[in-house]
Amino acid sequence: MKVGIPREIKNHEYRVAITPVGVRELVDHGHDVVIEKGAGLGSAIPDDEFAAQGARIIDSADDVWGEADMVLKVKEPVAEEYHRLREGLTLFTYLHLAADEPLTRRLVETKVTAIAYETVRLPSGLLPLLYPMSEVAGCLAPQVGAQALHKAAGGRGVLMGGVGGVANAKVVVLGAGVAGQNAANIALGMGADVTLLDTDLEKLRQSFWRWDNRVHQIASSALSVREQVLQADMVIGTVLIPGAKAPKLVTDEMVAQMKPGSVLVDVAIDQGGCFENSRPTTHADPTFTVHDSTYYCVANMPGAVPNTSTWALTNATLPYAVRLADTGWEQALREDPALALGLNTHAGEVVCGPVAEAFGMEHRPLSEVLA
């Protein structure tokens, strides 16, 4: 199979979908790997390192997409890439389609077989290809939030760890999944007073023991969210419903009553965000202000640390990419029910139910596609 890796062109997206280790694995399995020139430079991986492992370096993005049977990416295709989508192509990347109607309709129109990293799901419920980037985004959230709290950045001028005789910053984390746990861990390490909310009591119990009760845990409800948000210096939203839009947990009315200069970091923005006023921002222009509060809603947060992110992502995606290349998407999905749940569109139809529901589109069940 010809596997193509184009350069990411989303704003300040420096990750690349493969490492030299991944190239070597695919080449050893008999596949032809073509990579756009300079695709790895943002992750500190020069072309010659890819070439040394057997990849062919190509100048043109159009040629990479045109030659490939399967395209590996990091982020969803942006509008400038839509003309490269075509029937017969397998696309394996983050898609987050429930928050992107134009891309969803374009994938349907072009009959692309699109497999989304974020909806591959193990029987345990774990999302193995979302996990590493949730780790990274969760770790980044308190860091970027702490910067936004600086007075010069428009924040309250609060130091995360405080000093002797002065209260620590109060950080509220919504969602105790992978991103939420990592956000709580880093915020705690920075000295903040951290509260974690979730509807899953088992996750809250794990948090109790993990941090020896140094992170407060509260069962999430409309009332408890409201109470905690109004007290917070920083709110980090990490709530995820696989494949679907994130629920709006923090309303405009709540934000209007928050402390002036408070900060809201929406890690769930890829799925539409969990704050009512959230809208996607970029690394070039990451924040905006609503009711004297600062929102940070960068849709590709892990792109800020691309070297770490690229290696972590490839560690997770490579076994699945090799399987897809070895057997083709159809057999690979039949043999692996977890990977099959990643199929979002095929042959002009939406296969992922939550995506179809988000836009009122027809939905073809996965079982029929693989029958």
pLDDT-derived band of residue 240, with 50, 70 and 90 as boundaries?
confident
What are the structure tokens assigned to 190, written together? 């920075």
pLDDT of res. 245: 87
Other CB atoms within 10 Å distance of the CB of residue 284 = 8
pLDDT of res. 11: 86
**Residue 243 pLDDT greater than 80, yes or no:** no
Residue range 172-197, pLDDT digits in tens: 999 999 999 999 999 999 999 999 99
pLDDT of res. 218: 97
Residue range 11-39, pLDDT digits in tens: 899 999 999 999 999 999 999 999 999 99
DSSP characters over 330-344:
HHHHHH-HHHHTTEE
Question: What sign does the CA torsion over 97, 100, 105, 107 have?
Answer: negative
Identify the DSSP state of 157.
-
**Whole-prediction pTM value?**
0.89
**Residue 210 pLDDT greater than 80, yes or no:** yes
Residue range 52-104, pLDDT digits in tens: 999 999 999 999 999 999 999 999 999 999 999 999 999 999 999 998 999 99
**Residue 217 pLDDT greater than 80, yes or no:** yes
pLDDT of res. 47: 98
- Report the percent of the chain where pLDDT is more than 70: 100
pLDDT-derived band of residue 341, with 50, 70 and 90 as boundaries?
very high
pLDDT of res. 99: 87
**CA dist 349 → 68, 78, 366 (Å):** 22, 20, 11
Residues marked active site are found at 96, 270
Average pLDDT, the chain: 96
**Residue 221 pLDDT greater than 80, yes or no:** yes
Beta carbons within 8 Å of 113's beta carbon, 6+ residues apart: 89, 90, 91, 329, 343, 345, 346, 347
Provide mean pLDDT across the span 295-306: 94
**CA dist 112 → 24, 85, 132, 349 (Å):** 27, 7, 26, 9
What are the structure tokens assigned to 170, written together? 């109060």
pLDDT of res. 258: 98
